[in-house]
Structure 1
Amino acid sequence: MAEEYSFFNDVNGDREYDMEAFATYFKQFLSNGLYHTDNMPALKISHVNGLQTKIDPGCAYIEGFMYRNTEDILFTHDQADATNARVDRIVLRLDRNVNARYIKAFIKKGTPATNPKPPTLQRDSVIYEISLAQVKINAGATTIATIKDERLDPAVAGLVSSLITIPTDGFIQEWNAFMEEMESAKGQYETSLASWMSQLNQDKVDYENAWESWFNGIQNQIGVRTLIGTTEPAEAVAGDLWIKTIG
């Protein structure tokens, strides 16, 4: 089908949706992983005693399907190998098989070896696993040696996050282009302002020169020396005209 759409009310059986339709829809928005509070996920694996571990309550999301555990779950690991250590994994397993259709927590038993490795996670179109922890059991031991928390490792688990992102690269490019335009406009404005100020200063000089020339000429015409200032000029003599300026 080239075009797909969902979800619409059914009329006489013409709109039917299976679990994969819903899972495909939700997979567009969220990544696989564990739900968390302040980046601290739940579903922690802890040692109880002997070969027992437990999983705390919490929620997860796998391939569009929801998992929720509401109370502690107790696990008992198989007896230790007499010769070699092994590493088990505690996993959440999504099983799409028609006789399963669930997400549940399981112990995934490792293989004893001189240098034991954790079992590989199964991830295909039917089974999808995420790992909560590695549990090491030494040779001949009656208790657990170590628990390695894997909940924050995005390669095997990780935190649920949104797949809807903002194209910040494009926004940054547009912002940079805008700032370049503003810098260019600023430069042009500063150049124009400097030219205007230069012309204004020149006009002021020209005006003062013209005024001085006119003033000197008019004094010769009226035959009276005119003095202008805020204080009475000391060089004033009889017959001079003093114009007092205020301010």
Structure 2
Amino acid sequence: MEYSGFFNGDQEYGQDEFSRYFDNIYESGVSINEDNNMTLQVNKCDSGVQVDKGFSIIKGFYLYNDSIKNIGILKDSNYDRIDRVIIRLNLNSKKVSIDVKKGIPSSNPEVPSLQRDNLVYELSLAQIKVPKNGEMVIVDERYKKELCGAIRPKNLTEFNSMIEGFTNQFNKWFEAQQAKGWRNVFIQNTTPEKVVPGSIWIQI
């Protein structure tokens, strides 16, 4: 079945049409500000962490945070823990929000995995290492495109993939040529040795 849009008139457009449109144009991620820095940075504050202003596109939907958001982080009394500050798209609740995804307290804590299915999709802004004692440590994850990344055109990613494919093909061909030798031009009296077919010998 074919779909098209957007036109004036009786046709109505909704969530599916707009999210499909933008999801086919942009990779999910966060915006870049005028200083060429990624927005929605996570910093420590007295009660936990705070997330700076910024904009994000996630699977064709958007989040706009127009003020600093404070999020409380409570320590576990017995064990260390690793949390994640995430952007979560929830199609069930029709909402995109900044949340903390709590890890499991443990003597050897692991980072909570991101949920990515047909109802929920998550991007990670940062890991929060929450020790039972001492200072929290924030690990920025916005720069990892498999976890978050910057908003960028999808065709740019496809172009880079195409160039990578061409490069791989050339490298395979080049390695094969090196293995069997190169055709050369020989200018000498004696018959050249170990000549690759197609080489030229000019006898002087």
TM-score range, shorter chain: 0.7 to 0.9
Picking from 82, 85, 91, the partner of 1:90 is 85
Secondary structure at the aligned position of 1:20 is classed as helix
- Structure 1: how far apart are the matches of 2:122 and 2:87? 6
- Structure 1: how far apart are the matches of 2:54 and 2:94? 20
1:106 correspondence with 2:103: no
- Structure 1: how far apart are the matches of 2:94 and 2:78? 38
1:19 correspondence with 2:15: yes
Match of 1:9 in 2: 8
Match of 1:176 in 2: none
- Given that 1:57 and 1:70 are in contact with CA atoms closer than 8 Å, whether structure 2 keeps it comes out as yes
Unaligned 5+ residue runs, structure 2? 167-204
Work out which of the two has the higher radius of gyration on C-alpha atoms and give 1 or 2: 1
Q: What is the 5 A alignment of 1:107-126? A: 107-126=100-119
Secondary structure at the aligned position of 2:155 is classed as coil
Identity within the alignment, %: 31
- Structure 2: how far apart are the matches of 1:31 and 1:39? 18
- Structure 2: how far apart are the matches of 1:110 and 1:23? 30
Q: Deviations over 1:56-86 (max 9, x none)?
A: 00111101111111111111013x2222200
Secondary structure at the aligned position of 2:16 is classed as helix
Taking structure 1 as the reference length, the TM-score comes to 0.60
Q: Deviations over 1:192-241 (max 9, x none)?
A: xxxxxxxxxxxxxxxxxxxxxxxxxxxxxxxxxxxxxxxxxxxxxxxxxx
- Structure 1: how far apart are the matches of 2:84 and 2:19? 26
Match of 2:121 in 1: 128
- Given that 1:35 and 1:58 are in contact with CA atoms closer than 8 Å, whether structure 2 keeps it comes out as yes
Could you tell me how far 1:31 is from its partner in structure 2?
0.4
Question: Would you tell me which structure has more helix in proportion to its own residues?
Answer: 1
Could you tell me how far 1:145 is from its partner in structure 2?
2.2
2:43 aligned partner, one-letter code = S
- Given that 1:47 and 1:144 are in contact with CA atoms closer than 8 Å, whether structure 2 keeps it comes out as no
Q: Deviations over 1:32-66 (max 9, x none)?
A: 001113542011110112x4110000111101111
Match of 1:157 in 2: 148
Match of 1:42 in 2: 39
- Structure 1: how far apart are the matches of 2:2 and 2:138? 48
- Structure 2: how far apart are the matches of 1:156 and 1:10? 40
Question: Would you tell me which structure has more strand in proportion to its own residues?
Answer: 2
2:84 aligned partner, one-letter code = R
- Structure 2: how far apart are the matches of 1:70 and 1:21? 26
- Given that 1:135 and 1:144 are in contact with CA atoms closer than 8 Å, whether structure 2 keeps it comes out as no
Match of 2:71 in 1: 75
1:148 correspondence with 2:139: yes
Could you tell me how far 1:164 is from its partner in structure 2?
2.3
RMSD: 2.0
Paired residue total? 160
- Structure 1: how far apart are the matches of 2:15 and 2:141? 29
- Structure 2: how far apart are the matches of 1:27 and 1:3? 17
- Structure 2: how far apart are the matches of 1:28 and 1:144? 42
Could you tell me how far 1:161 is from its partner in structure 2?
0.7
- Structure 1: how far apart are the matches of 2:50 and 2:24? 32
- Structure 2: how far apart are the matches of 1:94 and 1:8? 28
- Structure 2: how far apart are the matches of 1:121 and 1:152? 16
Could you tell me how far 1:148 is from its partner in structure 2?
0.5
